[in-house]
Amino acid sequence: MVEKKPVKIVVIVAALLIVTASFFTGVYFGFENRPAIERVVGVQNKENPTNLKNVDFNLFWDVWSRIEEKFVYKEKIDRDKLILGAISGMVRSLDDPYTEFLPPVESKQFQEDIRGSFEGIGAEIGMRKGILTIIAPLKGSPAEKAGLKAGDKILQIDSTSTAEVLLDEAVRKIRGPKGTTVRLIVLRNSFDKPREFKIVRDTIKVQIVETEVKPDGVFVIKLHQFTENAAIDFRKAVQEFYASNSKKLVFDLRNDPGGYLQIAVDISGWFLPAGEITARERMADGAEEIYRSPGYKLFENVPTVVLVNQGSASASEIVAGALRDIRNIKLVGTKTFGKGSVQEVQALPGGSSLKITIAKWLTPKGTEINGKGLEPDVTVELPKEEDQDPKKDLIMEKGIEVLKGL
């Protein structure tokens, strides 16, 4: 009996090993053949979202496996590119021109752009009703010198039609090394047919603020863009206003395509009392984040008008809307662009980034800007381009006229 015990133990251990092996083999088989949705969710270590339960991710893996198995040019299969391409396609399907996946090279270029110095033609572009449109040419840029104007529709970039081109993809095609030429086919409301513009790229350095002293105690601050340094330059403009002994202010936001939210809030603080709402961000779930004026006060009691046009967008519209809602400051000019969505740039592994629309802008009184723009309080009817006198600034003249009546 003593000699048989080891045999029983061995048999029992062997049986346990077989059962265990069978169990883990089954687990592995089940794991490898689980629904693709579980694989995707498992990577994020999150529970299955209710709205994803009916999504069949198996199709993705099915296509991937067929490429691996059937594609004849095996040497062309770059799995990193497959992943990047799949992500880009997923983001593109959202049909939002301001949401885009940026691979490493494009991500680096984007970061250079928002710092205010880059090589290209110097024009802010956006999407209006699905058409690539000039929001505003930057002052002194090749785009402005070539004659491009806010509202111009870009139909073609070199030999590429813009009908199916994403916004940031178009930006990259228009950008390029200093000294090179880009050819744009442009349609303007005053054109009877599209025209060609050949523009030589240059190094673009964004001029942020201009000031001018007008007769009768009128001072003009022209803000070109809400860049990183705009708050500092605007502070200097405030000092110039008081040094000039001016009494009234024209705040010119024409052709200002926007920029940083915090800069917009900061600049609004010169006009609005402390604690007043400057802007609202409405998120996907309906929640709102409120931004309030820091209350610098120096322009709080200064008679002011704001000049706007179709090149005024994003942060420009936020500031213009806040000054009108809180101070009843008059907007003079033409309807603004209507870019009222909020983007957040999220860094991703490997140098990529995701620029994603996370919210909508609203004015302090809750007016939605996106796709609508702001109607001016005093509309200036402009003549056709061929009838315009380049020496006359009708919007500025009307703004000063309104200001003198305050």
Q: Which residues are catalytic?
A: 314, 325, 339
Residue 319, Cβ neighbours under 10 Å: how many?
A: 29
- CA 9/CA 330 separation, integer angstroms: 93
Helix, strand or coil, per DSSP, at residue 136:
strand
For helices 167-174 and 104-114, the axis angle rounded to 10 degrees is 80
Q: What is the amino acid identity at position 368?
A: E
- CA 363/CA 279 separation, integer angstroms: 5
Close Cβ partners of 384 (under 8 Å, ≥ 6 residues apart)? 190
- CA 316/CA 173 separation, integer angstroms: 26
- Report the chain's C-alpha Rg in angstroms: 29
Q: Supply 236's token pair.
A: 């200097």
Closest among 282, 260, 297, 298 to 366, alpha carbons compared:
282
- CA 117/CA 125 separation, integer angstroms: 16
- CA 334/CA 85 separation, integer angstroms: 41
Q: How many CA atoms lie within 13 A of 43 on its CB side?
A: 4
